[in-house]
Amino acid sequence: MLFETDGMMDQQKPDLEQLKQDLSAAIDVATGLDTLDAVRVHALGKNGVVTNLLKTLGGMSPEERKVEGPRINGLRSEIAGAIEAKKDALAAEELAERMASETLDLSLPPKDTPKGSVHPVSQVMDELAEIFADLGFAVATGPEIEDDWHNFTALNIPESHPARAMHDTFYFGENQMRDGMPMMLRTHTSPVQIRTMTSGEPPFRIIAPGRTYRSDSDATHTPMFHQVEGLVIDRDITMGHLKWTLETFVKAFFERDDIVLRFRPSYFPFTEPSAEIDMGFSVENGRRIVGGDPNGPDGGWMELGGSGMVNRHVIAACNLDPDEWQGFAFGCGIDRLAMLKYGMDDLRAFFDGDLRWIEHYGFSALDVPTLSAGVGA
Ligand code: DAH
């Protein structure tokens, strides 16, 4: 219908009313910006029907032009206005359609993307913090690069002490001394005891989980491993408090009430008296389980860590009066706690960085351990 108007300009008196109706109808039915633009070119383009009508004004007599001029110009601006209005309507429609179809739900994680997980060692450290926080312990930290005084001397391990040789220490070179002291990667978390006692006022109740280093590597040792240190300094603290604290801890950690501890006399320079702590185990479904009767068939004892009453030399080295302040300390390997609790049997796999291992043994970032919800998996 639209293109029937093409020949109209040949006529003497083009039917402007008809042309307007045809163009308006074409504008009306245009369903997209493309078709609308085709109508615009057809009407108002260089060779458009309305443009060509305007060109006829030049050949008219002044009287005729006076009449036809406003009519044709009126038609042109009416059509141009209608096209603009339709264009806005189509654009609004298109936008509404896109808004409806291109929804983006920010409350959902993207599908099929790797999510990452929490390493069992980190998980166990969180569990330790949760359990000991409930007993009133704060979490303390110290540097992994330590000096001789904090790592050894203040802990009652003087220079010639054989315990120094036992630690297989990673020393920094002669030219890396600080204040005349050799520097090293800390061989245990015990220096955090010193840093705690020298930087605040007693009483203290802290645990210090963290990385430790020794030049040792086989099936059960890695050069970097994790320990947790415990320290309580107050008045009238006894070995009884130590035993209760460790018993309460292992029962909460392994989520069993039938765990028995055994204290074996031992020696550590920084405690007096000193004890090694063993946990009773039994065998369930062919697997060693912490808890149950250690004297039953296949039962026995496995080591948890070292402990004792803080040596008065250590308390004095931290400028506290050992006659006023006493306490207990303990130190355990975290990696072994994780292995026992979550059934991993190769320590070296912990630090291989194998994605398949962490995907299998890792924990969800949303699985935050709490005492009420359980500190387990
Ligand atoms: N620092 C000791 C080690 O690495 C472990 C230890 C034993 C820590 C007895 C203590 C303790 O706090 O009282 O072998």
- Region 163-175 average pLDDT: 84
Q: Give 97-154 pLDDT, tens digit per residue.
A: 988 888 877 787 777 766 788 999 999 999 999 999 999 999 999 999 999 999 999 9
Is-contact 152 164, C-beta < 8 A?
yes
pLDDT score recorded for residue 106: 79
pLDDT score recorded for residue 172: 93
- The DSSP string of 91-125 is HHHHHHHHHHHS---TTSPPTT-----B-HHHHHH
Dihedral, CA of residue 169, residue 172, residue 177 and residue 180, to nearest 10? 20
pLDDT score recorded for residue 102: 87
Query: What does the domain layout of the chain look like in residue ranges?
Result: 16-101, 120-361
Q: Give 60-102 pLDDT, tens digit per residue.
A: 999 998 988 999 999 999 999 999 999 999 999 989 998 888 8
Q: Give 181-207 pLDDT, tens digit per residue.
A: 999 999 999 999 999 999 999 999 999
Residues 6+ apart with CB under 8 A from 118: 126, 362, 363, 364, 365, 367
Is-contact 246 330, C-beta < 8 A?
yes
Pocket mutation for ligand 1, best pick of 146, 228, 303, 330 (most atoms within 8 Å of C-beta): 330
Length of the chain as a residue count: 377
Cα–Cα distance between 330 and 190 in angstroms, integer?
A: 9
pLDDT score recorded for residue 113: 66
Higher-confidence residue of 111 and 289: namely 289
Dihedral, CA of residue 142, residue 125, residue 313 and residue 308, to nearest 10? -170
- Region 47-59 average pLDDT: 91
pLDDT score recorded for residue 277: 98
Its pTM stands at 0.71
Ligand 1, pocket residues at CB < 6 Å: 188, 190, 229, 268, 271, 306-308, 329-331
| 204-213 vs 224-234, strand pairing mode | antiparallel
- Helix, strand, coil % (nearest 5) of the chain? 45, 20, 35
Burial 275-291 (b: 16+ CB within 10 A, else e): bbbbbbbbeeeeeebbb
Closest atom of ligand 1 to 187 CA is: 4
pLDDT score recorded for residue 9: 47
Q: Give 29-45 pLDDT, tens digit per residue.
A: 999 889 999 999 999 99
Please name every residue paired with 229 in a beta bridge, in sequence order, or none if there are none. 208, 331
Pocket mutation for ligand 1, best pick of 245, 268, 326 (most atoms within 8 Å of C-beta): 268
Q: Give 337-374 pLDDT, tens digit per residue.
A: 999 999 898 898 999 989 899 989 998 887 778 877 77
Cα–Cα distance between 355 and 359 in angstroms, integer?
A: 6
pLDDT score recorded for residue 7: 46
Dihedral, CA of residue 203, residue 159, residue 224 and residue 141, to nearest 10? 20
From the CA of 307, how far away is ligand 1's center (Å)?
6
Report the first-to-last Cα separation within the chain, whole angstroms: 75
Closest atom of ligand 1 to 310 CA is: 13
pLDDT score recorded for residue 1: 45
Cα–Cα distance between 193 and 268 in angstroms, integer?
A: 14
Closest atom of ligand 1 to 332 CA is: 5
Is-contact 229 331, C-beta < 8 A?
yes
The superfamily in CATH containing domain 120-361 is Bira Bifunctional Protein; Domain 2 (3.30.930.10)
Confidence of residue 377 (pLDDT cuts 50, 70, 90): very low
**Which pair of tokens denotes residue 221?**
């040792």
Cα–Cα distance between 185 and 151 in angstroms, integer?
A: 9
